[in-house]
Amino acid sequence: MTSYIPYGRQNINQQDIDAVVAVLHSDWLTQGRAIDRFEQAVADYCGVKYAIAVSSATAALHIACLAIGLGEQDYLWTSPNTFVASANCGLYCGAKVDFVDIDLHTYNLSIEALEQKLDNASKQGCLPKVLVPVHFAGQSCDMEKIAALSQQYGFQVIEDASHAIGGKYQGNAIGCCEFSDLAVFSFHPVKIITTGEGGMVLTNREDLYEKLIRLRSHGITRNPKLMQGESHGAWYYQQLELGFNYRMTDIQAALGSSQMQRLEEFVSRRRFLAQRYNYLLQNLPITLPHQHPDTESSWHLYVIRLHLDKIHKTHLQVFEELRQADIGVNLHYIPVHTQPYYQNIGFKWGDFPKSEAYYADAISIPLYYGLSKEDQNRVVENLRGILT
Ligand SMILES: *Cc1c(COP(=O)(O)O)cnc(C)c1O
């Protein structure tokens, strides 16, 4: 009898539960102080000025795009090797979306491909307004180069750091926004820390912060200094733009603050398990994850690539045999441009061949805080049996 090993899962302890229960007994279930505390904890950890908690990373990406003024006629570029939300946020704003193919070492968007595409776009007068680099699996993109290109070509940068809270780039926490305008985290249960559903936008720019706060809550302000004309009194608010209800509840924020206290422990366990995989899997016909020396991944995912020429099985067969052994492998990601919705707006198979080659042999194997060494050994032994 073996039990099912998922590819990822949350870890909730008694401290987390107590934090949620305390909010349930309090006066504020939403729009209370627990939100401020969670935002402050993340901002302090990342070394960034402003943090705005929202209902999901998808909402965070949407209002981040709106805050920088992305609109019709504008272009948003991102990686095809991501969850659809990194691209959809551009479409929500009426903008056009395009992709930059990946680097086959890091699986992040390729800086060489980006340089080439920017050069072409500048000749054709269709430069992007915003680039959304995705820190795939928790490993940072080359942000210093991206920042230099953003200066040269005049685009803004929103880091999709959904995988990456707890990771570092050049020794600083991902989310510090040293090389970007904004960064976004996700707190979905498969990510590094969780609030059930939830996300956050980080920035050092006060102008963006003011806008994000309004966009999170209907475009409304209660600050008389921002109003047109005089305030009518204590009850008064003004809607200055079209916003949303993208608020996080205090129940979620209390869980988030409690999880933040456990972040270092979460990431160090993931790092330990990743290193252990590196060691245990070293002689199999697979490519192990590459780490750039400038980065310290948060290890959201552990992705292997099968050397299909050396294995007498297909990608699908390996996948199914692992699933039959109750090992919940997954595939991150189906290249976004190949989704039917994106094909309907003009993309096709063949457009971003590196992300497609990666998709043809990549597998995410189980990695999460609570993965025991015994279960990890079971993953390794099954892989060995299937591949050799
Ligand atoms: C999970 C994820 C998102 C969306 O996060 P939600 O909080 O579920 O909206 C966006 N981008 C990437 C890269 C993700 O992994």
Minimum-distance ligand 1 atom for the alpha carbon of 190: 1
Nearest to 16 by CA among 204, 173, 189: 189
Minimum-distance ligand 1 atom for the alpha carbon of 197: 7
Mean pLDDT in residue range 129-154: 98
pLDDT in tens, 261-274: 999 999 999 999 99
On whether the CB atoms of residues 295 and 168 are closer than 8 A, the answer is yes
Which residue's CA is the closest to the ligand 1 atom numbered 6? 57
Mean pLDDT in residue range 156-169: 98
Mean pLDDT in residue range 352-372: 98
Which residue's CA is the closest to the ligand 1 atom numbered 5? 57
What's the confidence (pLDDT) of residue 175? Answer: 98
pLDDT in tens, 64-97: 999 999 999 999 999 999 999 999 999 999 999 9
**Cα of 136 to ligand 1 centre, how many Å?**
11
